[in-house]
């Protein structure tokens, strides 16, 4: 029998390390190779800086969960309008350098794709380290917050970052919300929805 995966809340000071987990997990994806077509180290550094901002923002305005021995992370935001990240444009320009236009383009696409209603929680990020996959970490991160959302009667929206992610979400009660989309003709993001149970 598989041991249950421990899940805890993120702690102060962990945003950088958790952003790096997301960056390493997302670096091989076609979408992130489009964002930063340079070598893997440059890509991970640019992604890590952006994801660190998102994790820190989630810790202030949402819920950030860490699974296992910091092998996975999930960033959730509650229903309603997301507050702006202070200084986001300037910080993103510093982090992304020559790749900034692609990050801005992706941000605009993500913003347009998110439904206006009904009110829903938003799963902004879920990532598991490559060597720790297929051990139930992703499902444990989802379960940690689904129980609360179900009790509140709150649905969830997310953009799956590939077919593997889409399968994980489908196993956990999500359905396709809209056709896949992405920049430069990439069908790289899969909008998904989950009704509360």
Number of structural domains in the chain: 1
CATH number at residue 149: 3.40.630.30
Q: Is 56 helix (H, G, I), strand (E, B) or coil?
A: helix
Separation between Cα atoms, residue 106 and residue 189, nearest integer Å: 10
Task: Please check whether residue 174 lies inside any domain of the structure.
Answer: yes
Q: What is the pLDDT of residues 121-131, one digit of tens each?
A: 999 999 999 87
**Helices and strands in the chain, H and E counts:** 7, 7
Domain range spanning residue 48? 8-194
Q: Where are the alpha helices (DSSP H) in 39-127?
A: 40-61, 88-96, 100-113
* 1 is a domain residue: no
Residue 86 C-beta-side C-alpha neighbours within 13 Å: 3
Please count the other Cβ atoms lying within 10 Å of the Cβ belonging to residue 155.
Answer: 17
- Rounded percentage of the chain residues whose pLDDT exceeds 90: 84
164 touches 174 (CB < 8 A): no
CA distance 19 to 23: 6
What pLDDT score was predicted for residue 2?
62
150-165 pLDDT per residue, tens: 999 999 999 999 999 9
Q: Considering the domain boundaries, does residue 3 fall inside one?
A: no
Residue 40 in this model has a pLDDT that exceeds 80: no
């Amino acid at each position: 029998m598989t041991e249950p995966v421990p899940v805890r809340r993120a702690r102060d000071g962990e945003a950088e390390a958790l952003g790096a987990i997301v960056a390493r997990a997302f670096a091989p994806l076609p979408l992130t190779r489009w964002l930063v077509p340079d070598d893997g180290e440059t890509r991970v550094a640019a992604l890590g800086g952006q994801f660190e901002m998102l994790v820190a923002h989630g810790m202030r305005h949402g819920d950030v969960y860490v699974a296992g021995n910091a092998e996975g992370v999930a960033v959730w935001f509650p229903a309603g309008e997301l507050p702006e990240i202070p200084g986001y444009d300037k910080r993103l320009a510093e982090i992304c350098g020559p790749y900034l236009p692609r990050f801005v383009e992706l941000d605009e696409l993500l913003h347009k794709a998110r439904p206006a209603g009904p009110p829903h929680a938003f799963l902004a990020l879920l990532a598991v380290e490559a060597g720790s996959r297929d051990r139930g970490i992703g499902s444990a991160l989802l379960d940690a917050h689904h129980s609360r959302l179900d009790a509140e009667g709150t649905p969830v929206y997310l953009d799956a970052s590939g077919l593997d992610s889409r399968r994980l979400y489908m196993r956990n009660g999500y359905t396709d919300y809209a056709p896949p989309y992405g920049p430069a003709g990439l069908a790289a993001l899969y909008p998904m929805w989950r009704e509360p149970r």
